[in-house]
Amino acid sequence: MDEEATHDGVDGINGPDVAANVVPPPEHPEPDHTAMSDFYDYCERAKVDYVSFDADMRAAVELMSLMNSKGGSLALYEAISQWHLRHPKSLKSIAAPKLHSTLIERYHMEGTMPYEVETKLPFSNETVNLACHDALAQMKDLLTDPRISKNDYLFWNGDPESAPNEEFATLGDVNTGRAMRQTYHDLIAPRPYTADGRRRVPMGVVMYVDACQVGQYQGMAIEILKFTLSIFDSKTREKDYAWRNLGYLPNRVKGKAKARNQFKASTHLDSDNYTSDPEYRKAFWNQGEVTEESTLDPEFYSGEDGGENPAEMPEVKAQDLHVMLKQILGSYKDLEDKDGLDWDLRHIAPELAHVSFVPFVLMLKVDGVEADKCCGQYLAKSGNVACLCRACLCPTDAADQPYRAHKLIPY
């Protein structure tokens, strides 16, 4: 009894002490069973309710998969679905090349297809294939566009035979500007009719060039040269179908090349001025990339004081652009060199239908960057550029003073 008591006493004394020193295990939250339970419920429901897709649903799933893989949008998916329902009798596929060739022939667009012109660039020293369109074919396609109606034309007093007013109180559309009115007096007024009795009508060509990004990098851009006609009013010229492409200007990487031979062999007025006028060379040198002072010495140029050294021409990136523009505008120049474009106007009374359009470049719509490129100016406007403008000797630090007079470069 005593041993049992002693044993019990030890247990009774030590037991509570030991229990007080033991840390109880933490109470963990139960794991989530809802996801698995939900999936089991779904499986049970699918065994009872789900059946195989019918043909329409399988086609819709396949179309959506194609749209996802090809980068199509949901809006395009809806459009294709509706298109499919509208053509239940279509039972075979037509390849894209056959579709294109058939439509081109059907709508008389063979002449509007682009063609390549191999062009040597003097600055980057590269040979590129420029994609161009024939200006005459594009102009014919524009004049015969069925979306252009009678109300879209723009003539003085609404009459192709009408002459411009001597004075305009306000400026309105493009035909109220001085360029249109002066062109009429210079080209049309002395000879208003052709030999076969057609009324000669001035037709200004409004050109537009801007860069279009074709990739995620800034250098991956292409500049498209477009045109429309001044015989369309401003609302019509805002429509995409009122414009046609003339060519495409790719961006080129600068290379090392001498532009002297091509520049001197060109018919550009700058080439004659550069080789004959020291003052002009001086202005050109200030804007170019030639650093040798010897380029300003007249004795270094052929034909001046018996010198035998050819004139060193600065390599200017704008030369590449102008060479490409010359190639693209080649077909338009051929059209402008002719004595007008005979045309029978649609939507005009029969006695006014027979005209002969006289095309001329009315304006070039550009933004600041393209304007600098076309004018041969530097794109950078920092103080490191001596002169921003190629037409005068105004220094860069005075370019923000519009009323200052500076010597013009002689032409």
Q: What is the mean pLDDT of residues 178-184?
A: 89
Residues 311-328 have pLDDT tens digits of 445 555 677 888 888 999
Q: Are residues 188 and 284 in the same domain?
A: no
Question: Domain total for the chain?
Answer: 2
Alpha-helical runs (H) found in 266-314: 269-276, 278-287
Q: Is residue 131 one of the residues assigned to a domain? A: yes
What is the three-state SS of 180-248?
HHHHHHHHHCCCCECCCCCEEEEEEEEEEEEEEECCCCCCCEEEEEEEEECCECHHHHCCHHHCEEEEE
Q: Are residues 137 and 283 in the same domain?
A: no
Q: Are residues 141 and 179 in the same domain?
A: yes
301 vs 199: which has the higher pLDDT = 199
233 vs 302: which has the higher pLDDT = 233
pLDDT of residue 266: 55
- Name the band, by pLDDT with cuts 50, 70 and 90, for residue 23: confident
Range among 7-11, 278-282, 299-303, 328-332 rated most confident: 328-332
Tell whether the model's pLDDT for residue 372 goes beyond 60: yes
Are 394 and 388 in contact, with CB atoms under 8 Å apart? yes
Q: Are residues 219 and 363 in the same domain?
A: yes
Q: Are residues 306 and 206 in the same domain?
A: no
Residues 115-132 have pLDDT tens digits of 999 988 887 788 888 999
Terminal Cα-to-Cα distance of the chain (whole angstroms): 135
Q: Is residue 180 one of the residues assigned to a domain? A: yes
Q: Are residues 353 and 403 in the same domain?
A: no
Q: Provide the domain limits for residue 281.
A: 274-313+380-411
Q: How far apart are CA 344 and CA 143, in angstroms?
A: 10
Q: Is residue 249 one of the residues assigned to a domain? A: yes
Residues 230-241 have pLDDT tens digits of 999 999 999 999
Q: Are residues 295 and 322 in the same domain?
A: no
Mean pLDDT over each residue of the chain, to the nearest integer: 76
- Name the band, by pLDDT with cuts 50, 70 and 90, for residue 12: very low
Lowest mean pLDDT among 291-300, 337-346, 386-395: 291-300
pLDDT of residue 50: 79
Lowest mean pLDDT among 109-118, 278-287, 394-403: 278-287
Measured CA distances, 225 to 10, 129, 210, 317, 356 (Å): 105, 16, 7, 18, 25
**What are the backbone dihedrals phi and psi of residue 244, each rounded to the nearest 5 degrees, phi first?**
-135, 150
Q: What is the mean pLDDT of residues 68-81?
A: 85
Q: Is residue 14 one of the residues assigned to a domain? A: no
Q: Are residues 300 and 321 in the same domain?
A: no
Tell whether the model's pLDDT for residue 347 goes beyond 50: yes
Structural tokens at position 242: 């009122």
Q: Are residues 144 and 252 in the same domain?
A: yes
Q: Are residues 185 and 229 in the same domain?
A: yes
Q: What is the mean pLDDT of residues 278-291?
A: 49
- Residue 288's closest CA among 383, 410, 386? 386
Q: pTM of this prediction?
A: 0.64
Q: Is residue 105 one of the residues assigned to a domain? A: no
pLDDT of residue 33: 77
Q: Are residues 196 and 157 in the same domain?
A: yes
Q: Is residue 122 one of the residues assigned to a domain? A: yes
Q: Is residue 233 one of the residues assigned to a domain? A: yes
Structural tokens at position 17: 């002490």
289 vs 389: which has the higher pLDDT = 389
- Name the band, by pLDDT with cuts 50, 70 and 90, for residue 159: confident
Q: Is residue 344 one of the residues assigned to a domain? A: yes
Q: Are residues 239 and 364 in the same domain?
A: yes
